[in-house]
């Protein structure tokens, strides 16, 4: 059964009079896990397409590029619910129309059968290998062995969320106060050994799809993700013994509650930022620090020094802690962006404050020379 054949029948019974492009967009929302908050935004795959493009997909089938954009987001629960709730007369008509393409479809199985045909069509259009060519039993046994050997480490690396780009589903379920782990282990490069450097924790859906996927671009993307999360795990171990000054929590609360009038009186020209961060190599990091320093530096310095005088925190100790964090992360060959994000994360974990407030403190210590070295010129 071809995609255009399925789409034409479904539009007849589900479109409520929508034109082809409008129903196509609704259809994509019904068969993917794109959250409702992202519908009709750039995160909605069909939202990026022009009406004529969607008409072409509806009449001729999906392009490989579009199919790949949704193949790891497939979730047909909403479509199946819509089909289950059709009035009996409409359901009978739909089944009769679908029987022209698949005689095994009946009134008892039509939602699941149609959903399976749609998923098979999309996977085929995306260039995935046929399911019968993959030994799923062997793959599941391999995943089980790898979970026994490396599961705990991979879950720590992934922070218990699916590692595939754009997914981030939790790899656990909570039931009656107990945690049930729901994940599989993916071999990134299927032609290499099952060393931990070649493994990722993934949700069952992404694992099942990747078994059929030989796309070299995705393989490279997964290797890049593995490199980033492995570095982050090593960084956690490297700085785990460094404690953040307890009084910093109080200072961050003060910073959080600063008003615009207080900040406007203390603007600052962040001349040292460009000596630490090259705006050509790290433009986003440069602008982030420049903005935070110009707005907050003088006020943050006053807050920290006042709290030091009152004994709320030890300013010199805090400076040494920032230096220590930076030196240990630098030894791990992390980029400036990775170091900035990791120190921010460390402070956030220690103080339970919002990321943006923690970024302001890190930017302060960049300007203050505890974080990042001067650029060699």
Cα end-to-end distance, the chain, whole Å: 64
Question: What is the per-residue pLDDT for 280?
Answer: 92
Long-range contacts of 47-51 (CB under 8 A, 24+ apart): 51/20, 51/21
Per 3-state DSSP, the chain is made up of helix, strand and coil in percentages (nearest 5) of 60, 5, 35
What would the DSSP string read from start to end of 262-329? HHHTT----TTHHHHS-TTT-HHHHHHHHHHHHHHHHHHHHHHHHHHHTTSS-HHHHHHHHHHHHHHH
CA distances (Å), 269 to each of 11, 266, 280, 296, 359, in order?
60, 10, 19, 11, 18
Question: What is the per-residue pLDDT for 263?
Answer: 84
Polymer length of the chain: 377
Question: What is the per-residue pLDDT for 291?
Answer: 93
Query: Judging by DSSP bridges, how do beta strands 199-202 and 184-187 pair with one another?
Result: antiparallel
Question: What is the per-residue pLDDT for 240?
Answer: 83
Residue 369, SS3? coil
Question: What is the per-residue pLDDT for 273?
Answer: 87
Q: How far apart are CA 59 and CA 4, in angstroms?
A: 5
Strand partners, 115: none
Q: Where are the domains of the chain?
A: 3-127, 133-239, 248-367
* pLDDT, one tens digit for every residue, the chain (377 residues): 899 999 999 999 999 889 999 999 999 999 998 777 777 777 778 878 899 999 999 999 999 999 999 999 999 999 999 999 999 999 999 999 999 999 999 999 999 999 999 999 999 999 999 888 888 899 999 999 999 999 999 999 999 999 999 888 999 999 888 889 999 999 999 999 889 999 999 999 999 999 999 999 999 999 999 999 998 888 888 888 888 999 999 999 999 999 888 887 777 877 778 889 999 999 999 999 999 999 999 999 999 999 999 999 999 999 999 999 999 999 988 899 999 999 999 999 999 999 999 999 999 999 998 999 887 65
Question: What is the per-residue pLDDT for 377?
Answer: 56
């Amino acid at each position: 059964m071809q995609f255009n054949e399925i789409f034409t029948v479904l539009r007849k019974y589900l479109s409520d009079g929508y034109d082809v492009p409008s129903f196509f967009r609704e259809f994509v929302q019904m068969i993917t896990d794109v959250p409702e908050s992202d519908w009709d935004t750039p995160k909605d795959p069909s939202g990026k397409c022009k009406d004529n493009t969607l008409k072409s997909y509806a009449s001729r089938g999906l392009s490989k590029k579009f199919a790949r954009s949704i193949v790891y987001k497939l979730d047909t629960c909403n479509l199946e619910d819509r089909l289950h709730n059709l009035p009996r007369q409409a359901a009978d008509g739909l089944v009769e129309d679908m029987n022209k393409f698949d005689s095994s479809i009946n009134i008892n199985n039509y939602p699941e059968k149609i959903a399976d045909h749609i998923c098979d069509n999309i996977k085929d259009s995306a260039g995935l290998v046929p399911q019968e060519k993959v030994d799923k039993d062997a793959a599941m046994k391999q995943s089980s062995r790898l979970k026994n050997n490396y599961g705990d480490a991979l879950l720590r690396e992934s922070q218990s969320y699916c590692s595939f780009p754009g997914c981030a589903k939790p790899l656990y379920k909570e039931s009656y106060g107990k945690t049930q782990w729901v994940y599989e282990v993916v071999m990134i490069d299927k032609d290499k050994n099952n060393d931990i450097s070649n493994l990722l924790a993934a949700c069952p859906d992404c694992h099942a799809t990747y078994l059929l996927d030989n796309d070299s671009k995705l393989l490279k993307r997964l290797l890049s993700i593995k490199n980033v999360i492995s570095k982050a795990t090593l960084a956690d171990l490297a700085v785990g013994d460094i404690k953040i000054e307890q009084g910093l929590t109080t200072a961050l609360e003060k910073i959080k509650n600063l008003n615009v009038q207080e900040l406007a009186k203390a603007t600052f020209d962040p001349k040292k930022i460009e000596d630490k961060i090259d705006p050509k190599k790290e433009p986003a990091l440069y602008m982030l620090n420049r903005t935070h320093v110009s707005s907050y530096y003088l006020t943050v310095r006053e807050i920290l020094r006042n709290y030091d005088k009152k004994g709320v925190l030890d300013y010199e100790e805090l400076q040494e802690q920032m230096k220590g964090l930076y030196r240990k992360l630098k030894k791990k060959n992390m980029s400036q962006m990775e170091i900035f994000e990791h120190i921010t994360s460390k402070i956030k974990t220690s103080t339970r404050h919002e990321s943006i407030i923690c970024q302001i403190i890190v930017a302060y210590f960049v300007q203050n020379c505890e974080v990042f070295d001067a650029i060699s010129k």
